[in-house]
Amino acid sequence: MIRKEQLAINRRQVTLDGWLVEQFRDKLTRASLLSRKKKRPLLLYRNIVEESESAAEEEVATINEKYVIVQVLTHGGFIPPSFQQQYVFNLDDFAKWIIKRSRDLYLQCIDNIDEQIQSI
């Protein structure tokens, strides 16, 4: 049985998550417009997934005019650079996905977008 206090907390969390998604979607829209203006994709985040002495697997997210592309690539040592996975999101789907996925990556996206916007 769910208590009333739990329902109130869950409703507040849903409201907060919705607000975060909305605010992040606005930043993504500004970043996509900046990407169009600069005629090149903008970096949202880089995350090293696995690293050894001479090679690394890393996840890189970039934004262009319409989409966010998340790519997992390996490189270094005797390994030729190659893409292991690639995901394409529209701005709305990426905003929801990144907030559920990782707070740190979400904050890295915010910082990188703000930095790009300020450098205009």
Strand partners of residue 63? 42, 68
pLDDT for 8 beyond 90: no
Report how far apart, in Å, the C-alpha atoms of 49 and of each of 31, 37, 61 are: 25, 31, 13
- pLDDT for the residue 29: 97
pLDDT for 7 beyond 80: no
- Where are the chain's structural domains? 4-118
* pLDDT (mean) for 87-102: 95
**pLDDT mean across residues, the chain:** 89
For 20-44, how does the pLDDT look when each residue is reduced to its tens digit (9 = 90+)? 899 999 999 999 999 999 999 999 9
For 108-120, how does the pLDDT look when each residue is reduced to its tens digit (9 = 90+)? 999 999 999 898 7
